[in-house]
Amino acid sequence: MLALALGGRLPDDERRRSALALLSERNDDGGWGDGDAGTTGESHAFATACALRALRLARSNADAAAGATDAVQWLTAHQCADGSWPSVPLLRIPDSDVIDPSAARDYSRPGTGIVVADQNRVHTTAAVVHALDAVRASDGEQASAE
């Protein structure tokens, strides 16, 4: 959705459907995780930042706006004292014999693939700052239009 919306190629009805699908994956705490279909997993900053960016681009309805507000509040509440955000591994590479990478679950055993961590939380923090800056910029545009 992000790529299509940024490229101006996402019709309004598809924006609405995408926003509703994204909102259905929101956790009770207002954040997003990276769980499988039907299970959102524990909320984390990277997934919540991506969801926030997508919801702001969707510009679909009051529910999307409320979801974006929840995401901003979740991100604000979970910022670390040093200004960064907690991270989870961002890239999981399963063994070469795995046919369906989405089915690979255990990356903790030796020889079960590679997990690339977000060193010093730089990637996660950059994603969050980018999403929050986009909210600030779009809120500023709306205020000046009023």
On the 0-12 / 13-18 / 19+ scale of CB atoms within 10 A, 29 is middle
Would you place residue 73 in the very low, low, confident or very high pLDDT band (cuts 50, 70, 90)?
very high
pLDDT at 138: 77
Would you place residue 122 in the very low, low, confident or very high pLDDT band (cuts 50, 70, 90)?
very high
**Counting every residue, how long is the chain?**
146
Cα separation, 132 vs 72, in Å, equals 7
Among the listed ranges 9-18, 42-51, 98-107, 126-135, which one has the minimum average pLDDT value? 98-107
Determine the residue type at 70.
Answer: D
pLDDT over 80 at 91, yes or no = no
Cα separation, 133 vs 80, in Å, equals 18
pLDDT over 70 at 35, yes or no = no
Cα separation, 93 vs 66, in Å, equals 35
* Helices assigned H by DSSP within the chain: 2-6, 12-24, 45-58, 62-77, 122-145
pTM: predicted TM-score of the whole model, two decimal places: 0.76
Among the listed ranges 1-5, 119-123, 125-129, 130-134, which one has the minimum average pLDDT value? 1-5
Q: What is the mean pLDDT of residues 102-128?
A: 75
Would you place residue 18 in the very low, low, confident or very high pLDDT band (cuts 50, 70, 90)?
confident
Q: What is the mean pLDDT of residues 46-69?
A: 86
